[in-house]
Amino acid sequence: METILKARDLTKEYITGRHTVKALNGVSLNLERGEFIAIMGPSGSGKSTLQHLLGGLDRPTAGQISLGNQEISRLPDTAATLIRRRNVGFVFQFFNLIPTLTAEENILLPILIDGKKAKAYQERLDRILQRVGLTDRRQHRPDQLSGGEQQRVALARALITESAIILADEPTGNLDTKTGSTIMELLQAAAHEFQQAIVMVTHDPRAASYADRVVFLRDGQVVEESILAQDTGQAQRVKDILSILEKLEVASC
C-alpha cells in the first residue's frame, strides 16, 4: 500500500463576527492510493470542511496535510492552485458542466486549462468514454443529456487527468436510485481500476456501502471508522453502516 495523503491533527476555525466556530477539532486521516473512503456524519459535523482541506480547496487553522512527500497546508495560493489542478478532481451534486460545451469538450477541459494538448489525450478519452458508457453521447451538450449522463461526464472529467484524488460531494444526491447505483459502481471502478483515491461525502448509507472505508464525524472529530469487507453482500454493508449511524445517534443524545 502507498499512502498518498496524510492529514495530521487538523483544526479548522471559522470566525464570523464575534463568534468562532470550530468546524474541525483534531482530525487525522491517511488515504492510500486507489482507496475509496466515504465521510458521514450529521449536518454541521465538519464533513465538507474536511473534504475541502484534503483537496487543498481551503487551509487548516492548525495541523499538517501532505500529498506524496509535499506539505500542502501552508502553500501560497498560486502553488496550491497548481497542486490542486494536477492532483485533485471533483464530482459534485450539481454536475458543474459548462452548458455550451459538448460532453467531450467538458471532459477535456482540465487538460486544456493545464495548458496541455487535447490530442495527446485522445486515446485515454476514448477509453474513458467507453468505460462510462458515453461513446455515443460525446458530441451532446449537457442539456441534451440525462442527469445520470451528466454525472458520468463529470466523473469522466475527473478521470482524464489521472488525478491521485477525486473529491465527490453527494454525487448521487440528485439522481434516482438506479442511476445513483451506476454512478457508485463507476466511482468504485475509478478507485480500483484507475487507482484514483476517492473522498466522498454522503448522507446515503447505500452510496457509502460502495466505499472501502467509512469515516464518521461528529462535532469536528472522527468518532468511528469502519473498514467495509467487500466480500460481504451490499445489503449487509448497508446494514452495518446503518447500525453504526444509529449507535452514534444514541450516544449523542
Which residues form the interface with ligand ADP (CB under 6 A)? Answer: 14, 16, 21, 23, 41, 43-49
Name the minimum Å distance from CB 178 to ligand ADP.
Answer: 26
Alpha carbon distance 203, 119 (integer Å): 39
Q: How many CB atoms lie within 10 A of CB 238?
A: 17
Strands 3-16 and 19-32, bridge-based pairing: antiparallel
φ, ψ dihedrals at 141, nearest 5°: -85, 160
CB of 5 vs ligand ADP, minimal distance in Å: 18
* CB-nearer residue toward Mg ion: 39 or 134: 39
Q: How far is CA 219 from the centre of its chain?
A: 21
Q: To the nearest whole angstrom, how small is the minimum distance from the Cβ of residue 190 to Mg ion?
A: 22
Q: Which is nearer to ligand ADP, 43 or 177 (CB)?
A: 43
Binding Mg ion by CB under 5 A: which of 31, 38, 48, 132?
48
Within 10 A of 99 (CB to CB), how many other CB atoms are there?
A: 8
CA dist., res. 9 & res. 62, Å (int): 7
User: Grid coordinates standing for 218?
Assistant: 461528529
Residue 241 CB, shortest distance to Mg ion, in Å, is: 18
From CA 15, how far away is CA 221, in angstroms rounded?
19
Which of ligand ADP, Mg ion, none binds 45 (CB below 5-8 Å, type-dependent)? ligand ADP
> At 88, is the secondary structure helix, strand, or coil?
strand
Q: Which stretch binds Mg ion (CB under 5 A): 48-56, 66-74, 109-117, 160-168?
A: 48-56
Give whichever of 57 and 189 is closer to ligand ADP, judged by the CB atom.
57
Residue in the shown chain whose Cβ atom is closest to Mg ion: 48
Contact call for residue 49 and Mg ion (CB under 5 A): no
Tell me the β-bridge partners of 198.
Answer: 36, 166
Minimum CB separation from Mg ion for residue 52, in Å?
9
**Please, which residue, 48 or 106, has the CB nearer to ligand ADP?**
48
Q: Which stretch binds Mg ion (CB under 5 A): 44-52, 56-64, 117-125, 131-139?
A: 44-52
C-alpha cell at 107: 471532459
Nearer to ligand ADP, 36 or 216 (CB): 216
CB of 60 to Mg ion, least distance (A): 17
- What DSSP letter does each residue of 96-134 carry, written as one string? ---TTS-HHHHHHHHHHHTT--GGGGHHHHHHHHHHTT-
Q: Is the CB of 16 or the CB of 177 nearer to ligand ADP?
A: 16
- Contacts to Mg ion by CB under 5 A: 48
